[in-house]
Structure 1
Amino acid sequence: MHLQENRPIHRGTVTSTDGTVLSYQRLGHGAPLVVCHGSFATAQDWLPFAERMARTRTVFLYDRRGRGDSPAAPDFAIDAELDDLAAMIDLAGPEGALLGHSFGGGCALALAARIGFPGPLIVYEPRHSARGPVSRGHIPDIRRMLAAGDLDGATEFALAHVVGLPAPALAGLRSGPLWERFRQTIGAFPNELRLLDDLAWQPGDLDGIAGPCTLLTGGNSPVPPDASSPDMALRTLLPAIRARTIPDQGHFAYSAAPALLADSVDACLTGRTVPA
């Protein structure tokens, strides 16, 4: 997918608490927006979205540790991802907003509660363990496949047994343009699951979130219609959270419809109504 406009991109690095040097890209003008991407992505995958948002925001995209141009730390601390995100928020400066997708959404919620983040917080189908461990006990299985060098097998297993993708959706991904990125990033997935399993929030644990919070979901994403769904668990923990639906999209709107996602995020930040 090609960017629609040629905006200057500044590339730099920021150092996290444990000394890990994270690579980031910055583009646009206006109040800052930090994007924390999900498990099967890098900053590069979010550039089409950032190009649209850069019309009104200074967008910060960073490669989470072990992805893109950011190295993996030799000893993974369970809260290292949160420290990384905190470093990016400090770099972006005050009056900023935070967007987290999937795994990045869980990180964004956890960090916002930890530091009392005062700005707008937007989470797009965040992952967490408020209703039970995200890993479903499969971390050893994925590690065994990775140790054997079976990237395709590990990726398929993770998407089917952890993410819970139905067979038709998995087959579509397997033959689509995102698959190679999934293979490239599966190696970091077991450590991500360790962090997500730790996000077993109870009532009161997210009370530190100080700013307005919005939950984005795709209209085509499979969401269980009962209180056991992640969305319902999050709404119980954050009764004031607002909800918006991205029509005709699933979990990967940043790739499938970046302009539509950017419009939805802009609406969250400005209070603008978006037609369904």
Structure 2
Amino acid sequence: MTAATLTGTVVSADGTAIAYDRHGSGPAVVLVHGAFTGRGHPTMGGVAAGLAPWFSVYDYDRRGRGGSGDTSPYAVRREIEDLAAVIGAAGGRAMVFGGSSGGALALEAAARLPAVTKLAVWEPPYHVTADAPAVPHDFAARLDGLVRQGRRGDAIELFMVAAAQVPGEVVAAMRATPSWAESEALAHTLAYEAAVMGPGNALPAALLAGLAQPTLVMNGDASPPWMAAAGQAVAARVPRAVHRVLEGQTHAVAAGALVPELLEFFVAG
């Protein structure tokens, strides 16, 4: 039997409407997306479907995406307020799972929101070793500037090459695909991702050390070594963290690999 899916909207502290889908019933779990993805993305959609028999899973569009609104100027605290509003709609307390830069946002939020009762993250891309990408300290400003100039495709290319280590020739080929227009529609949110990660994607060691929630940090054994190092560094600094390595997984992790780990972690007392 397929778990019921309900669509709703909640208003964040600054008046921005945030759209979400709720899957299933039970204790609340909120999913926080990373770059280029939103509500209904196959990975998070698969996670929602896999957890729905036991949980109420809230898959929401971060501001500036899909069915959610946006309000200028952007600030990371507003995204934290958005998550707080979704948790409010979920009953006031929730477990949270964030992927990639969404994982970094979830970590930032957990430090400020006691309503987050447990936290799981997938490969937050902090830079802790010399082999990590060299992201400029003004990365967010550069991305925002390109979008303001109408150069959305160039903003995407800069993000992919500098932050995701995608070869330039691969990005050039991607520009010719039908999905490129969908990526361009989200180009303005790439500056948001850079702001969430902070200058140089530096590890927020003091923030992590102050987290009180039980935390699961996950990496794939087929991801770049610098991402593995980032996961290990996060787990080492969060007082109640455990670190798991998922066999055969890259940064583009499969939902089927995540669901058993999340289910075990969220069910545990």
TM interval, shorter chain, is 0.7 to 0.9
User: Which amino acid letter does the alignment assign opposite residue 237 of structure 2?
Assistant: L
SS at match of 1:262: helix
Tell me the residue number matched to 1:274.
none
Picking from 3, 9, 17, the partner of 2:5 is 9
Tell me the residue number matched to 1:81.
79
Q: Contact (CA 8 Å) 1:102, 1:125: kept in 2 or not?
A: yes
Q: Contact (CA 8 Å) 1:41, 1:181: kept in 2 or not?
A: no
Q: Does 1:270 align with 2:263?
A: no
- What RMSD over aligned residues (CA atoms) do the two structures have, in Å? 3.1
- Deviation of 1:176 (Å): 7.5
Identity of aligned residues (%): 28
- Deviation of 1:55 (Å): 1.4
Mapping for residues 147-226 of structure 1, pairs under 5 Å: 147-166=148-167, 179-197=180-198, 203-224=205-226
SS at match of 2:111: helix
Q: Contact (CA 8 Å) 1:17, 1:84: kept in 2 or not?
A: yes
User: Which amino acid letter does the alignment assign opposite residue 137 of structure 1?
Assistant: D
Q: TM-score with structure 2 length normalisation?
A: 0.83
Tell me the residue number matched to 2:70.
72
- Deviation of 1:180 (Å): 4.9
CA distance in 2, matches of 1:176, 1:49: 27
Structure 1 residues 82, 138: closer, same or farther in 2, change over 3 A? same
User: Which amino acid letter does the alignment assign opposite residue 260 of structure 2?
Assistant: D
**Which deviates more, 135-144 or 17-26?**
135-144
Tell me the residue number matched to 1:43.
39
Tell me the residue number matched to 1:238.
238
CA distance in 1, matches of 2:140, 2:227: 27
CA distance in 2, matches of 1:225, 1:57: 29
Tell me the residue number matched to 2:54.
56
CA distance in 1, matches of 2:263, 2:32: 16
Tell me the residue number matched to 1:258.
255
- What per-residue deviation string (whole Å, max 9, x for no partner) do you get for residues 149-168 of structure 1? 33333212211112333568
User: Which amino acid letter does the alignment assign opposite residue 85 of structure 1?
Assistant: L
CA distance in 1, matches of 2:167, 2:225: 13
Unpaired segments ≥5 residues, structure 2: none
CA distance in 2, matches of 1:123, 1:104: 8
SS at match of 1:205: helix
CA distance in 1, matches of 2:107, 2:87: 13
Q: Contact (CA 8 Å) 2:220, 2:248: kept in 1 or not?
A: yes
Q: TM-score with structure 1 length normalisation?
A: 0.81
User: Which amino acid letter does the alignment assign opposite residue 263 of structure 1?
Assistant: P
**Which deviates more, 42-51 or 126-135?**
126-135
CA distance in 1, matches of 2:113, 2:155: 35
Tell me the residue number matched to 2:144.
143
- Deviation of 1:240 (Å): 3.6
- Deviation of 1:212 (Å): 0.9
CA distance in 1, matches of 2:22, 2:86: 11
- What per-residue deviation string (whole Å, max 9, x for no partner) do you get for residues 22-59 of structure 1? 01110102211111111210111122321121111110
Structure 1 residues 111, 134: closer, same or farther in 2, change over 3 A? farther
CA distance in 2, matches of 1:246, 1:78: 30
**Which deviates more, 130-139 or 101-110?**
130-139
CA distance in 2, matches of 1:267, 1:176: 39
CA distance in 1, matches of 2:110, 2:139: 28
- Deviation of 1:194 (Å): 2.2
SS at match of 2:117: coil
Unpaired segments ≥5 residues, structure 1: 272-276
- Deviation of 1:134 (Å): 5.6
CA distance in 2, matches of 1:202, 1:27: 32
